[in-house]
Structure formats: structure tokens, C-alpha cells
Copies of this chain bind each other. A is one copy, B any other.
């Protein structure tokens, strides 16, 4: 068996003529992608090929036959398809060799998922995200932070803060987070995401268990006292309309995987909070492939 999954039958001379290209002297067989092979006829050859029980002719010189193997969807543990050429008896067996989520996860020894941090402005979402990414990095795990504010400078720069655009902002971050999780990355998304329906729509995009909601349960008075961006003051002064917690509701999550609580005079450090998330990820097996 060679690296890309073609298994020549003993007694038949199959030579590697390039990466993914094999030849029996008359034909070149190329691995195209999962379940596809291409047979290219070499000089002066015509060949009759049986593919999954059906006869096909390959030739003349230079022409190609693309073959879709019958059981290409059976995956790693399915019976490999077989391709046999009548006459020359070139037999090759196909083994799945495409790169999917599980291969990517094995490569970096972790499982892709989305850690969705929701909470009021000033509740510490970004700070916990940063601490979390630091601990993960120290443990050799690859994470990436999608921040509501940052994404608005790029992907979502066409969106305003009106209601439907805020929903679209969250939808797009959810879709991108899903792609990162599929890539095998631990994606940390930080958005106020005040409405249950928007959060649940993002949860529904992902395989069960892979959306891990972290609720920053911090009283408004603490967030407002911190006011890291000065937005609460502007909202109180009426200079910002529809500000979550002031004149727009924040729907508290009822069933978050993780709740990080902060009370007046009793607030854990961001690292202590991040450690709680780490313990969850570890217990659920996300820190290994």
C-alpha cells in the first residue's frame, strides 16, 4: 500500500510515475479524488476495462477515462472498490484517502468545536477568550478567537446595528465558527448575542455537543461600572439607542453548558474562569483527537 491508498496486485508491475500517478506500462492511472480514478492510455494502446462490472474502452493514445468507483461513499471501513482491466489484468484497490475533519483533528490532536461566549458588554467575554486561548496555546492546542467587533471590520463590515443586521452578524459568525470547528480548530466566539433564537440558530449549525455556550453571568451594575468602551455612558445619555442591558433586552441563557458568575466583591480572575472552560473541554474529550 502506498501513501495515497492504491494497492497494486502482486505479480503486476505497477510503477509510480508521479505523486498519485501509477503505470503498468500501457496506462497511467491517476488518483483524482475520493472515489475517482483516471486512466490515461499511453502510446498506441487501447484497453478494455471492467469497472464495477461494466465494460469501458480506454484509448487511443492520450485519451482519458474517468472512473467513479461504486462504493466511494462507504468510507474507511467499507470494502474497497476494485478496478480490473481485462487482458492486462491491472488491478488496483481503492482506499479512502481524502482529508476530512477526523484527519485534521488527528493531525493536531484535538477536536474542533465552538466555544460561544455570550454576555453583556463589559462582562469580560474578550478577556476570558484571551485567557482561554493562552492556556490552550500553553497546552499545545490551536484556537482562534472570533470577536464580534473584529469581524465587523472585515467580513461583516457591510452590516449596521439595526435589528436584522445584528441577527445577520451573528449568523455569519456562527457559520464561520462552524467552518473553523470543521477545520479542527477550537473556535472561541465572543458576541453579546442577546437573543436566544440567534444563539440557538448557531447551535443548530453544529454537530451535537460541538457548540459549547459559555454565559458570562455578570450583573449589569458591574458591567456598567467597568464600561471599558464608554458605551454605557453614551447609552445612558441617550446617544446610543437600542443598547443591550439599557434599552434593549438581554435574554439570559437558560441552559448554557458553562456559566461563569461574577458578583459584586466576588469575581474570579479571567484565568480562573478560563480554567473552568478548560476543565469542561478536557472532560468532553476536545483536547485530544
Chain B proximity of A87: nearest CB distance (Å): 23
Chain B residue contacts of A265, Cβ below 8 A: 62-63
| Chain B, residue nearest A228 (CB) | B66
From B19, B98, B131, B183, contact of A185 by CB (8 A): B183
Min distance, Cβ A133 to any Cβ of chain B, angstroms? 4
A18 close to B (CB within 8 Å): yes
Q: Is B104 in contact with A144, judged by CB distance below 8 angstroms?
A: yes
CA distance A130 to B235 in the complex (A): 50
Against B, the Cβ 8 Å flags (1 = close, 0 = not) of A114-149 are: 000000000000110011011111101111101000
Give this chain's copy count.
2
Asked whether A4 lies within 8 Å of B134 as measured between CB atoms, the reply is yes
Q: How far is the CA of A233 from the CA of B99 in the complex (A)?
A: 31
Tell me if A269 and B179 are in contact (CB < 8 A).
no
What does the 1/0 interface line of A24-58 toward B look like (CB < 8 Å)? Answer: 00001011111010100000000000000000000
The number of chain A residues touching the other chain, given as a range, is 35 or more
Tell me the bound Cα distance from A134 to B133 in angstroms: 28
Please state if B270 and A127 are interface contacts (CB–CB under 8 Å). no
B269 with A21: CB separation less than 8 A: yes
Across the interface, do A30 and B270 meet the contact criterion of CB distance under 8 Å?
yes
Closest 5 CB pairs of A and B: A20-B271, A30-B269, A155-B175, A62-B265, A144-B183
Q: List 29 A-B contacts (CB under 8 A).
A: A18-B268, A18-B271, A18-B272, A19-B274, A20-B271, A28-B269, A30-B269, A30-B270, A31-B269, A31-B271, A32-B127, A32-B270, A33-B130, A33-B270, A63-B265, A98-B130, A98-B133, A103-B137, A107-B140, A107-B142, A108-B142, A142-B142, A144-B179, A154-B175, A154-B179, A155-B172, A158-B168, A176-B179, A185-B185
List residues of A whose CB falls within 8 A of some B CB. Answer: 3-4, 18-21, 28, 30-34, 36, 38, 62-64, 66, 97-99, 103-104, 107-108, 126-127, 130-131, 133-138, 140-144, 146, 154-155, 158, 168, 172, 175-176, 178-180, 182-185, 205, 226, 265-272, 274-275
